[in-house]
C-alpha cells in the first residue's frame, strides 16, 4: 500500500436521491483507507461530507473481489460514514455506475458491479447526467421470527428483510413517530441482528405507493436508502397479498424518500429491480497535509 499522506487523493462527490457519497477512484487498490480517514472524509463540517464512501477498485486488484473479476471488472468497496465496512448500498451502486460512465470507464447499457453483497447487474439508460439507472438487486431473503422496533414508548412489529444487508421494516401511522433517527431505534430480539440493522418506518400514500424514513446503521438518518426502499417494497407486497411468487405477476411500488423517489419492481422469480437517478456534482483533490497533519 502507498501511504495516503504522500500524494493528494482524488475524489468526486455524488448522490442518488440525496443519499450522498464521497467517491475515491483507486483502480489498483493503492490507497489505504482506514476507518478514521473514511470518517474524516465523510464528516460534514470538517471534511467533504457524505453518508458513505465509494472506493472504486478493479475487482482483480482487491482481495475481497478477485473471485468475481471474470464477471465484474469493478468492485464497489463501500464504507459507512463512520468508517465501518458494509455489504451493500443500493443508491451507492447507482452512483458508482454513474461515476464509471462519467469517467469513460464504461459505456451506456448493461454492466456488472461486484459488491460484498454479490455481483449486481446495472443498466445505464442514458449517457447524460439526468438518465435513470436500474440496478438488479438480487432476491430478498425473509428470515423467520418475530422482530420489533421501538422509539421511546412506541413499539411496532417489523418485517425482517435481507437485501444483502439487514433491514427491519415497520409500518406506522405517522412518519414523525420515528422521532430523531440520528439515534438508532431499539430492536428486539437482540439476536436477530447481531451486527446491527437498518430500520425503515413506512406509511401508505396510495395504491402501491408508500413513503419512508430510514436509520442506516453506521450513518444515522439518511435522505435515502436504496436497499431500504427495496426491503420496504418487498415487505409491502407481502402485507398487501401481492407476493409475485404467489400471484405470478411482477409488482411495482413507488417509494418516496426525503431525498426523492425510487421505483421498485419485484418479479415472480424473486428478482428485485430498483430504478432512480444518480448524479455527480463535484470533483477535486484532498490536501495531503489535511489527511496527515504535521505533528
Q: Which helix (H) or strand (E) holds 209?
A: strand 209-216
* Cα 2 from chain centroid (whole Å): 28
Q: Is 227 annotated to bind ligand?
A: yes
Cα separation, 148 vs 159, whole angstroms: 8
89 is catalytic: yes
In DSSP terms, 220 is beta-bridged to: 216
42 is catalytic: no
Q: Is 80 annotated to bind ligand?
A: yes
From the list 209, 226, 186, the residue with the least C-alpha distance to 87 is 226
Q: Is 217 annotated to bind ligand?
A: yes
Cell of 47: 471534511
Q: Is 216 annotated to bind ligand?
A: yes
Q: Looking at 89, 197, 199, 211, which residue is catalytic?
A: 89
Cα separation, 163 vs 142, whole angstroms: 9
Burial of 269 (0-12, 13-18, 19+ CB in 10 A): exposed
Q: Looking at 53, 212, 225, 230, which residue is catalytic?
A: 225
Q: Is 198 annotated to bind ligand?
A: yes
Contact 81, 54 (CB under 8 A): no
Q: Is 91 annotated to bind ligand?
A: yes
Q: Is 130 annotated to bind ligand?
A: no
Active site residues: 89, 225
What residue numbers does the annotated binding site for substrate cover? Answer: 19, 80, 90-91, 165, 198, 216-217, 226-227
What residue numbers does the annotated binding site cover? Answer: 19, 80, 90-91, 165, 198, 216-217, 226-227
Amino acid at each position: 500500500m502507498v501511504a495516503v499522506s504522500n500524494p493528494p487523493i482524488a475524489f468526486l462527490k455524488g448522490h442518488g436521491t440525496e443519499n450522498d457519497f464521497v467517491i475515491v477512484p483507486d483502480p489498483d487498490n493503492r490507497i489505504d483507507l482506514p476507518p478514521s480517514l473514511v470518517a474524516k472524509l465523510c464528516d460534514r463540517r470538517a471534511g467533504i461530507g457524505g453518508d458513505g464512501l465509494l472506493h472504486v477498485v478493479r475487482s482483480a486488484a482487491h482481495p475481497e473481489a478477485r473471485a468475481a473479476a471474470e464477471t465484474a471488472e469493478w468492485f464497489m468497496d463501500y464504507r459507512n460514514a463512520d468508517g465501518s465496512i458494509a455489504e451493500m448500498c443500493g443508491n451507492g451502486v447507482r452512483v458508482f455506475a454513474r461515476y464509471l460512465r462519467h469517467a469513460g470507464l464504461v459505456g451506456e447499457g448493461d454492466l456488472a458491479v461486484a459488491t460484498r453483497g454479490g455481483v449486481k447487474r446495472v443498466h445505464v439508460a442514458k449517457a447524460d447526467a439526468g438518465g435513470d439507472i436500474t440496478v438488479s438487486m438480487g432476491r430478498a431473503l425473509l428470515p423467520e421470527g418475530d422482530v420489533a422496533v421501538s422509539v421511546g414508548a412506541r413499539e411496532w412489529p417489523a418485517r425482517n428483510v435481507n437485501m444483502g444487508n439487514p433491514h427491519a421494516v415497520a409500518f406506522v401511522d405517522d412518519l414523525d413517530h420515528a422521532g430523531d433517527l440520528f439515534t438508532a431505534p431499539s430492536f428486539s430480539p437482540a439476536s436477530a441482528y447481531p451486527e446491527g440493522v437498518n430500520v425503515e418506518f413506512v406509511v401508505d400514500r396510495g395504491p402501491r405507493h408508500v413513503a419512508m424514513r430510514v436509520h442506516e446503521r453506521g450513518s444515522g438518518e439518511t435522505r435515502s436508502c436504496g436497499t431500504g426502499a427495496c426491503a420496504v417494497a418487498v415487505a409491502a407486497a407481502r402485507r398487501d397479498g401481492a407476493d409475485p411468487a404467489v400471484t405470478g405477476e411482477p409488482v411495482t411500488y413507488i417509494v418516496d424518500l426525503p431525498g426523492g423517489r425510487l421505483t421498485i419492481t419485484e418479479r415472480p422469480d424473486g428478482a428485485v429491480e430498483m430504478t432512480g437517478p444518480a448524479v455527480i456534482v463535484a470533483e477535486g483533490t484532498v490536501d495531503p497535509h489535511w489527511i496527515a497533519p504535521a505533528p
